[in-house]
Amino acid sequence: MTSDLSRATVTALVGVYDADGGLAGELRYVVGHLLGRLECALCDITHGPLRRKQDFDELRERLGVPFDLVHRNERSPEVEAATGDALPCVVAVHDGAVTSVMGRAELAKCDGDVARFGTALLVAIVAHGLSIGQ
């Protein structure tokens, strides 16, 4: 096993929703979700029925690194190159690189639970040979 001293340190996290931003994109997702046609496991983790979950905001603070949330049409070129069509996902930024650490299946296993997501995220970061300062 690699020691924490030799692991690259995560400097930021980015969660990418499997939905477009903007009024039309948000409305399309909400209607599609209500009709059972669209789903985004990251949306289920970060948001309740009306707004972002307070538990999620508290988790972001505890992580100790910036954790941005973006829609698929808002990704930077670097994040888009690392994620492609594999959405939703969470990527870690480290040493000038971007690594996808959680994908659709891992996010879905969290079943919308913020605490479960927090644990799974930390496990995924370590599994990818990275560390996060806490």
Domain CATH for 63:
3.40.30
- Whole-structure pTM value: 0.85
Domain count, the chain: 1
Which of 40-49, 53-62, 77-86 has the least mean pLDDT?
Answer: 40-49
Cα 1 to Cα 11: distance, rounded to the nearest angstrom: 22
* pLDDT tens-place string over residues 22-54: 666 566 666 565 656 767 899 899 988 778 999
Measure the CA–CA gap between 9 and 17, rounded to whole angstroms: 24
Q: Which domain holds residue 13?
A: 4-131
Encoded tokens for 96: 């000038």
